[in-house]
Amino acid sequence: MNDLPVVEAIRRKAASLPLPDGWRIVRAPGRVNLIGEHTDYNGLPVMPMALDRAIYAAFRALDEPVVRLVNTDESLPPREFGISQFIEPYAPGDWGNYAKAAVQALASHHSSAQRGFEAVVGGDIPGGAGLSSSSAMVVAMALAFAEVNDLDVRRATLADLLAEGERYVGTQGGGMDQTICLLAEAGTALQIEFLPTRIFPHKLPAGTSVVIANSLVKAEKSADARANYNLRPAECRMACAVLSKALQRSIANLAEFLELFGPDGALSNAFEILGLAPWPAQRLAREMDMSIDILQRTLLTQRDGSALEEPPSGFALGRRVRHVLTEAVRVREAAQALDSSDAAEAGRLMGQSHVSCRDDYQISCPELDALVDILEESGALGARLTGAGFGGCAVALARSSQLSEILKQVSERYYSGWLKRNRPDIFERLPARVEQYLFASASVDGATISAM
Ligand code: GLA
């Protein structure tokens, strides 16, 4: 990693600071999720791998309870804040909030951790692309803070703690991103099961490559996409409330529902009780024997107290549940496909996952749909949107022998073709180097700390 341009930039910046010695460097990789989208916060499995792109932070201990950060990206201003169990956030979208999220999460569990650090941060994960640059930043900051305070925290425990801690920036995500960043194993896709968190690595089939293509529609986790994203966990909670009432038993989450009835039983119960038509808030209140006011103060209120807007067509509860249940089954089938080196089957399941994300979970957009079609038409075994959705990247599994042809076709047909024709505004801002938006990535190990 030491010869990467980004690490070189960090080293130069660190060397220009007073007292240039004593630095260590943390590498926290981005991730791409191969299959299992929006399942994690329902307690159901995902299957990501860590990317050979990462957030890097050179850091060293300070004797005061303060965190001081500079970024190699000159557009991101230096940040400095005090360590405490309740740290006031910067404005939404500020890069410093990810450091604050990490430090607050650890400080509130380890009140003796009072040593601060200074860090020079950089990275080569495209931002707002669904590749978890934000969680990588959280993990990098947490590992630096744990290291300077000699905290001995198991990685699985840290992953759970940071999944909760990252809610500080306002998203109601699950535990996938932090877990893969900390526990990834090179050459594998990691099946992560939740409640409690368990990991099962599956070797990627020999002779295959994982292709990542950015639709270039921005999906910033801490900005606008947040409201869209947060609506989905809320709809899953509403669905569980309606199912609990109809079945006269408590269903805490969709994992429990799937466990109780099995895939076929859960799907048919969901269909019968929820149907496929959207639920306006009025109907939801009636069904739950609640006034609209109580509904708004309970099911339609987010954990931070803010209200959820009802979409014009109502809440598509039945479709959301169908996606989550079928997606969980697909993840487990994909794990079997990988174990028997059946790359074609894994690709087929990825394609099905995209259709479900597009039609039932409704987290795609025309750009991602076009990109997925083009990846598949160019010879990929299967392609799908990856990450939170509403923009960001598509991921594809491909035979390595086809890789260069696929990259060439996608470059011509999506970027210089579809995007240029349909989204000239985005095409105008096409990054300078193709590797910034279209590339294949190895699957690498989780985060590491080493000497500079
Ligand atoms: C975001 C969240 C994850 C997960 C994905 C969707 O990346 O941080 O926890 O929910 O979206 O699968």
Determine the pLDDT at residue 220.
64
pLDDT band, residue 15 (cuts 50/70/90): confident
Is residue 159 pLDDT above 90, yes or no?
yes
CA distance 322 to 227: 22
Tokens in use for 319?
């479709």
Please give the distance, rounded to the nearest whole angstrom, from the Cα atom of residue 229 to the centre of ligand 1: 9
* Inside any domain, residue 121: yes
Write down the pTM of the prediction.
Answer: 0.95
Predicted local distance difference test score (pLDDT) of residue 167:
83
> Mean pLDDT score of the chain, rounded to an integer?
94
Indicate the pairing of strand 66-71 with strand 116-123: parallel
Domains: count for the chain: 1
Q: For a pocket test of ligand 1, which of 177, 182, 356, 368 has the largest count of ligand atoms closer than 8 A to its C-beta?
A: 177
User: What's the pLDDT score for residue 402?
Assistant: 98
Which pLDDT band holds residue 335 (cuts at 50, 70, 90)?
very high
**pLDDT score for 117:** 97
Considering the domain boundaries, does residue 333 fall inside one?
Answer: no
Can you tell me the mean pLDDT for 199-224?
A: 89
Enumerate residues lining ligand 1, CB below 6 A. 33, 37-38, 40-41, 173-174, 176-177, 387-388
Query: Within a domain: residue 123?
Result: yes
Indicate whether 336 pLDDT > 90.
yes
Q: Report pLDDT digits (tens) over 252-270.
A: 999 999 999 999 999 999 9
Domain membership flag for residue 34: yes
The predicted structure's pLDDT at residue 27 = 98
- The CATH number of residue 24's host domain is 3.30.230.10
Q: Which domain holds residue 116?
A: 5-203+444-451
Name the residue of 162, 191, 220, 229 whose CB sits within 8 Å of the most ligand 1 atoms, as the mutation to test its pocket.
229
Residues annotated as catalytic are 177
Using the mean position of ligand 1's atoms as its centre, give its distance from the Cα of residue 3 in Å: 31
221: nearest Cα among 177, 291, 268, 169: 169
With cut-offs at 50, 70 and 90, classify the pLDDT of residue 376: very high
What is the DSSP-derived secondary structure letter of residue 42? G
Quickly state the pLDDT bin for 18 (edges 50, 70, 90).
low
Looking at residue 19, its pLDDT comes to 63
Residue 223 has pLDDT above 60, yes or no: no
| Å from CA of 265 to ligand 1 middle | 27
Answer whether residue 305 shows pLDDT above 80: no
Lowest mean pLDDT among 120-134, 200-214, 217-231, 332-346: 217-231
Q: How far is CA 69 from CA 24, 64, 94, 98, in A?
A: 14, 14, 13, 11
Mean pLDDT across the stretch 147-176? 90
Task: Let me know if residue 294 belongs to a domain.
Answer: no
End-to-end CA distance of the chain: 10
Per-residue pLDDT for 283 more than 80?
Answer: yes
Question: Is the pLDDT higher at 397 or at 225?
Answer: 397
The Cα 362–Cα 371 span in angstroms is: 16
Distance from the alpha carbon of residue 42 to the mean position of ligand 1, in angstroms: 11
- Report the pLDDT value the prediction gives residue 20, as an integer from 0 to 100: 64
Residue 301 pLDDT grade (very low, low, confident, very high; cuts 50, 70, 90)? confident
pLDDT at residue 46 greater than cutoff 70: yes
The average pLDDT across 373-395 equals 97
**Span 98-109, average pLDDT:** 96
| Between 88 and 3, the higher pLDDT residue | 88
For residue 188, being part of any structural domain is answered with yes
User: Over 148-213, what HEC string results?
Assistant: HCCCCCCHHHHHHHHHHHHHHHCCCCCCHHHHHHHHCCCCEEEEEECCCCEEEEEECCCCEEEEEE
> How do residues 52-88 score in pLDDT, each as one tens digit?
999 999 999 999 999 999 999 999 999 999 999 999 9
Query: Is 222's pLDDT higher than 60?
Result: no
Nearest protein CA to atom 11 of ligand 1, as residue: 388
The verdict on residue 39 lying in a domain is: yes
pLDDT at 172: 74
The better pLDDT of the pair 184, 127 is held by 184
Q: Which atom of ligand 1 is nearest to the CA of 39?
A: 12
* Tokens, residue 349: 């399941």
> Is 190 part of any domain?
yes
